[in-house]
A and B are shown apart, each in its own frame.
Chain A
Amino acid sequence: MESTIVKAVNYNSYFGDNHVVKNVSIDIPRNNVIAVMGPSGCGKTTFLRGINRMHELIPGATAKGQIFLNGEDVMEMHPIFVRLKIGMVFQRPNPFPNLSIYDNVIAGYKLNGIKLPKAERDRIVEHSLTRVALWNEVKDSLTKKGTFLSGGQQQRLCIARAVAMEPEVLLFDEPTSALDPISTSTVEELFHELKKNYTLIIVTHNMQQAARVSDKTAFFYLGELVEYDETKQMFTNPRDTRTQNYITGRFS
């Protein structure tokens, strides 16, 4: 029996008067890969950014409803503690340009003013980079700037940066949309490894990607969660006609 790690109950979010995410309720099981797909502007990214309270950083953005992490309502928690437990990877690789590869990985500790002994830092850096299959590629150039890496490597560095904080959930906002096909497949392979230790929620507008990498898929349309099911079930036998139309390419 899988246990639920993230649970949204009647979650709504707004940009000013614009109702972007409408009454979403969803249960996300631990150590799974969840794909969130839907056409542009359907609120999938906004929903994702609501889970770690990034949504409210935008002026005029508000949210209502509840999102539970291990039974605790993240809307009641301080956003900083939420973000320490729920990591995030963005659409474009965004390593800190002024920091080395090494410092990029432990940037979360530095930013939060957590001081660690050198040996512990070394261990975290090696462990995190190994987790994202980047250690062998960069172990001799850890002092080089993070922006020196290729796009795909930069994105894996950003995943390592999130992993280094040992979060419980990792959010990915279209993590491969700025990458070439080979880098994309490397990152996709990572998802299978990462789900052993973390729960992954991946926003994608690429249906094939959703089908390839995820255990469960959520389909958003016009701000509503239309359908949420096992990925196999959703792609072979969708229950809602809107899902069916989307999957068969009648709109995108």
Chain B
Amino acid sequence: METSLDNTVVTRSEPSLRVITSNATQKNVKTAGREKRSHRQIRTESVFRRSLVIVSLCMVVLVLGILITLIVQSVPSLKALGVGYLWGKTWDPVRDIYGALPFLLGTLLTSFLALLISVPFSFAVAIFLGEYYPKGWMPDLLKNAVELIAAVPSVIYGFWGLAVMVPMVQKLETVIHVPPVGYGIFTSSLILAIMIIPYSASLGRSMIQMVPSSLKEAAYSLGATRWEVIRSVIIPYTRSGLFAGVLLSLGRALGETMAVTMVIGNTTSMPQNIFSTGNTMASVIANELGEADKHVYNAALIELGLVLFFVTVVINIIGKKIITKFSN
């Protein structure tokens, strides 16, 4: 009896003991491994964080570097021409007269005219895709087409402008009795308008899709029509987002160079009206930098770049201020 009892005790306890010991060793191995791993992780983590900081600092240095280069390189022109440069109406490198006003005006005219033309279209696209038909093959096609507009290289827009828009504008100019040149500020604005549609359209669309459906339903439940929901709920709710999209478009329009250079006519006189030929700051730099042999001429063009830099920065700051004001 006793032996048999002992036996049963042994046979019972052995496997359970084995289980306990194996559990314990496994635990030790595990925790040791975990500590090793976590040390490595901490090291990797700090290396990773430092490289992020370095890369981010590089970006800041890059922007500052560009600004410094612009300032340094435009010193000869700043010294020779002073602030009068900004409102000088004449640009005549042969006689060493450099006034930036025609190009400042050219830039602002083309950009704001382009904005005026493009905003109705981009808002329409944004509302159509964001609210009316968010799904299906037709809206998908439209969405891809609009996004493709942003992907087409600007030289192709310039080429298309030369081939199609210039003759069309010529015809229009004949009808309204202005010199039928075809080239000019109006033609540039048309090309720019097309080029900047995707920026405000896609931002507007994603903003509109973010309007909570509970708000739209609240309006529908009060008997509002779709148009009333768009006007009274969606547009007020997305106002700052739509505005941000417009500013993004404006930034693009101000700096766009190639397409504008190809169709604006490249004259250096003051623009008389929107059908005049002219130059923007970007287009005159692209056009003349290669042949700017004189020291001051070169510097004057770079100073133009500096002005363009400041104009875009100021517009961005104003835009952000307005966005925060709207968001509050």
Which one of B135, B215, B222, B236 lies within 8 Å of A83 (CB-CB)? B222
| Residue from A84, A95, A96 whose CB has the most chain B CB atoms within 10 Å | A96
Task: Given A110-B232, A111-B232, verify A94-B214 contact (CB < 8 Å).
Answer: yes
B226 to chain A, nearest CB (A): 9
Q: Mark B111-124, 1 if CB is under 8 A from A, else 0.
A: 00000000000000
Which B residues are CB-close (under 8 A) to A98? 236-237
Is A39 an interface position by the 8 A CB rule? no
The CA-CA distance from A59 to B135 in the complex, in Å, is: 9
The CA-CA distance from A90 to B215 in the complex, in Å, is: 10
Which B residues are CB-close (under 8 A) to A92? 214
Segment of A5-13, A25-33, A117-125, A157-165 in the binding face: A157-165
Q: Is the CB of B223 within 8 A of A97?
A: no
**Dominant SS at the B interface?**
helix
Q: Is the CB of A162 within 8 A of B217?
A: no
Q: Is the CB of B222 within 8 A of A161?
A: yes
Is A238 an interface position by the 8 A CB rule? no
Q: Is the CB of B220 within 8 A of A83?
A: yes
Q: Is the CB of B221 within 8 A of A112?
A: no
A164 to chain B, nearest CB (A): 9
> Interface residue count for B (Cβ, 8 Å)?
19
The CA-CA distance from A98 to B219 in the complex, in Å, is: 13
Which A residues are CB-close (under 8 A) to B223? 80-81, 83-84, 108, 111-112, 165
Task: Given A57-B217, A112-B228, verify A96-B222 contact (CB < 8 Å).
Answer: no
Which A residues are CB-close (under 8 A) to B219? 96, 107, 111
Is B225 an interface position by the 8 A CB rule? yes
> Interface residue count for A (Cβ, 8 Å)?
27
The CA-CA distance from A94 to B220 in the complex, in Å, is: 12
Is B172 an interface position by the 8 A CB rule? no
Closest to A108 in B: B222
Which B residues are CB-close (under 8 A) to A88? 217, 221
Q: Is the CB of A158 within 8 A of B218?
A: yes
Q: Is the CB of B232 within 8 A of A90?
A: no
Is A113 an interface position by the 8 A CB rule? yes
Q: Is the CB of A57 within 8 A of B237?
A: no
Further 12 A-B residue pairs, CB within 8 A, beyond A83-B223, A107-B219: A59-B135, A80-B223, A80-B224, A83-B220, A83-B222, A84-B223, A88-B221, A94-B217, A107-B222, A111-B223, A112-B224, A158-B218
Residues of chain B at the chain A interface (Cβ within 8 Å): 135, 212, 214-215, 217-225, 228-229, 232-233, 236-237
